[in-house]
Amino acid sequence: MANEEKLLQENDDLKQIIKEQKEIIEQLKQLLYGKKTEKIPVNEDQTSLFDDEELDEMAEEVEYDEVVEKTTKTVVRHHSKKAKVGKRKKYLDKLEQVDQVHALSQQDLICPDCHQEMEKIGTRVASREVELEPAKVHCVNHLVETAKCHHCHPNGGDKLVSAGSPQPLFPHSYYSSSILAAIISNKYELAVPLHRQQRSWQRLGLPLTTET
């Protein structure tokens, strides 16, 4: 009786193993021959580089497919949904605008069909991007105008009048208020230590030290 129960239990265990093996085989077949997807599974424990608000904004960006025809160098965009560019355009328009023209070469001006020279008819905006201008320091020379009166000579001398000029923050110091404001902002808003700021300022060419 005990042997019969043991055989039944072993039979059940073997059936379970066979079932599990079949499931593994089906999964492998699905991976090899099933429909592929570009979606990447998200691990709940994985930290995203973007917060939820940034992900929502990215999802609203324009989605399009690009088809490039080599013979005419024409880019055709097929929009998959209505473009939501109002917010982006408003932001880009308020920035300082710098136009960078990508000119056609002399070879590009030869028509690929009739081989005659083509006429330039203008430019179009292919794309827009925000570019960072690296920080730099420069010297401001405060020049004051001076006037001299040629009609009177008080006490036998010349009558001279000069315009006012801003006073330095500290006596005999050439650091401006903009430098001081940047140091304070980096220190107390961005929590950048002074020794790290020292290296940053020195890379810009300003001999600033933590003691200063």
Instruction: Tell me the average pLDDT across 139-154.
Output: 87
Contact call for residues 76 and 69 (beta carbons, < 8 A): yes
Taking the C-alpha atoms of residue 183 and residue 202, their distance in angstroms, rounded to an integer, is: 13
Q: For residue 71, what pLDDT is reported?
A: 45
Contact call for residues 117 and 110 (beta carbons, < 8 A): yes
Mean pLDDT of the residues in the chain: 78
Taking the C-alpha atoms of residue 46 and residue 111, their distance in angstroms, rounded to an integer, is: 54
* Cα of 109 vs its chain's centroid, Å: 34
Residues 58-71: tens digit of each pLDDT: 555 544 444 444 44
Contact call for residues 161 and 144 (beta carbons, < 8 A): no
Instruction: Tell me the average pLDDT across 84-104.
Output: 87
Close Cβ partners of 79 (under 8 Å, ≥ 6 residues apart) = 62, 63, 64
Q: Are strands 159-162 and 146-149 parallel, antiparallel or unpaired?
A: antiparallel
Instruction: Tell me the average pLDDT across 184-194.
Output: 92
Q: Please report which confidence band the pLDDT of residue 182 belongs to, taking 50, 70 and 90 as the band edges.
A: very high
Residue 55 has pLDDT above 70, yes or no: no
Question: How many CB atoms are closer than 10 A to CB 206?
Answer: 14
Residue 23 has pLDDT above 80, yes or no: yes
Alpha helices in 60-176 (DSSP H): 86-93
Instruction: Tell me the average pLDDT across 130-159.
Output: 86
